[in-house]
Structure 1
Amino acid sequence: MAGSIAAHTFRPRDLVGGHVVLDLVNTVTARDAQRVDWLDGYPRLLEWAALTGEFDTADLGALRQLAEAAPDEAASALERARELREALHALVTALIRQDAADAPDAAGAPERFEGHWKRAATAARFTLHGNTPQLRAGVEASGLDFLAHELALRAWDLLRSLPLERTRVCPGQRCGWVFVDSSRGGRRRWCDMATCGNSAKGRTHYRRTRTGDTDPQPPTR
């Protein structure tokens, strides 16, 4: 993935995808410009995972200990999580555009995701969550790949049921985040009105009142 890697403290406003898998995809910002990867290390991945509230704190604590004991292995696990993220981004955006079979940026994405899913499924256990059969990853079997494995398994469920008519790519400047519109009217355009939405409104107002001047820079997340 071309672009840069930058430290970022994750905040609740970074979780706008409507699903933890889409929030993983959105750990890269400015996909429509100079991409910036916010996962600058394995501890940052754990920070993000804790913020989502989707993972057991004991599991995250165990991963933190494993990462501290084996930093090189943690770095390799982080790279695999990034590879999963990029395969998912290519798949989801191609599905949104309805050109999954032909999109150049999706070339090889199904096979890449399949590889991640198969590794996750091999390490997973079959469980019943209420009356729902599930494959669930565990730290004991997956080790430092636990988050990538669990997210790959959840991504399979998401991709099969993704509401494409309500799944969108934010058109905001230096954004490109993916989100599911859960609003009643289904007319949500921006990932977050407080950032991209208000920024776009501000630029429009500025152009109307200061024609010919340089647009102000949109606020950073």
Structure 2
Amino acid sequence: MSTTHRFRQGAGRPCLDFLRTLRHRGTSGAVEELPDAESLAAWARQCGPCPAAPGDADHALVHTAQELREAIHRLIGSARAHRAPDTRARELVNRAAAHAVPVPGLAASGRLEWHADDPVRATLALVARDTLDLITSPALDRVRDCAGTACGALFLDTSRPGTRRWCSMDTCGNRAKKEALRRKAPA
């Protein structure tokens, strides 16, 4: 029986969305959203530009993707703290970024279509390249930790004043406001 996958997006950068595949990072309730090849292919299909079939990923690529995600997290953390990058994390991200990325083409219908011989690995290459761009750009100063107590997500604060607190107002922000109202309510 096939599982329907739905991955969170909207963090402001593909690499930050990819980090969200470890939900509730740093808590005892952490949830791995890429536990198998089917999940990884579904993530690439939803979050990447070219179609990925369920058979486009295998167990080894799942392990590679999970390692890449954690390397990205370490690199972003180091860059935000103005520390030298972790050598292993840097090597993993550079290796992933070196893979071929999806290429665009105009279909007979006039629509833009994307192609890659290995769509999952190509999507991971885009994520790795986005990471390198982010950690070397001024946008890094706008990366924030979600203020949600059990969230653990990073997001790009694109608000004009740069004071956004939650990865999503619909989830973490709404939850925090409800908790604050409950605390204020008379007993």
- State whether residues 117 and 149 of structure 1, in contact with CA within 8 Å, keep that contact through their aligned partners in structure 2: no
Whether 1:40 aligns to 2:23 is no
> What TM-score, normalized by structure 2, do the two folds share?
0.77
Question: More displaced, 166-175 or 39-48?
Answer: 39-48
Distance in 2, Cα, partners of 1:76 & 1:210: 55
Matched, 1:171 2:147: yes
User: For the structure 1 residues 120 and 200, does the alpha-carbon distance in structure 2 shift closer, same or farther, using more than 3 Å as the test?
Assistant: closer
Q: CA deviation at 1:38?
A: 0.9
d(CA) in 2 for partners of 1:9 and 1:143?
A: 17
**Counterpart in 1 of 2:112?**
none
Cα-to-partner distance string for 1:82-140 (whole Å, 9 max, x where unaligned): 101001112213333x2534xxxxxx73432323423542x438x9xxxxxxxxxx843
Aligned equivalent of 2:95: 118
Q: Which runs of 4+ in 1 moved over 4 A?
A: none
Contact 2:40 2:120 in 1 (8 A): no
What corresponds to 2:5 in structure 1?
9
Distance 1:202 1:193 in 2: 12
Report SS of the residue matched to 2:27. Answer: coil
Of the candidates 81, 84, 87, which is equivalent to residue 68 of structure 2?
A: 84
Rounded to whole Å, the distance in 2 between the matches of 1:144 and 1:48 is 9
Asked whether 1:23 is paired with 2:39, we answer no
How far off its partner does 1:51 sit? 2.2
Post-superposition shift, 1:201?
A: 1.2
Distance 2:120 2:169 in 1: 36
Distance (Å, rounded) in 2 between the aligned partners of 1:77 and 1:27 = 15
Q: Does 1:160 align with 2:154?
A: no
Q: Look up the SS of the partner of 2:59 in the other structure.
A: helix
Q: Distance in 1 between matches of 2:56 and 2:170?
A: 38
What secondary structure is seen at the aligned counterpart in 2 of 1:163? helix
1:100 matched to 2:79? The reply is no
Aligned residues with identical type, % of pairs: 30
| Unaligned residue ranges in structure 2 (runs of 5+) | 104-114
Amino acid at match of 2:31: V
- Larger helix proportion of the pair: 1
Which secondary structure state, in structure 2, belongs to the residue aligned with residue 18 of structure 1?
coil
Task: Report if the CA contact (8 A) 1:30-1:173 is conserved.
Answer: no
Find the residue that maps to 2:162 and give its secondary structure: coil
Contact 1:8 1:38 in 2 (8 A): no
Root-mean-square deviation (Å) = 2.7
Contact 2:50/2:119 (<8 A) preserved: no
Q: CA deviation at 1:9?
A: 2.8
Q: Name the CA distance, whole Å, in 2 between partners of 1:200 and 1:152.
A: 32
Give 1:202's match in structure 2, choosing from 152, 170, 178: 178
Separation of aligned partners in 2, 1:178 and 1:157: 16
Q: Distance in 2 between matches of 1:9 and 1:100?
A: 36
Q: Is the 8 A contact 1:87 1:110 kept in 2?
A: no
**Which shifted more, 79-88 or 39-48?**
39-48
In structure 1, distance between residues paired with 2:4 and 2:148: 19
What displacement does 1:80 show? Answer: 0.4
- What is the CA–CA distance in structure 1 between the aligned matches of 2:31 and 2:70, rounded to whole Å? 13
Question: Is the Cα contact below 8 Å between 2:41 and 2:55 reproduced in 1?
Answer: no
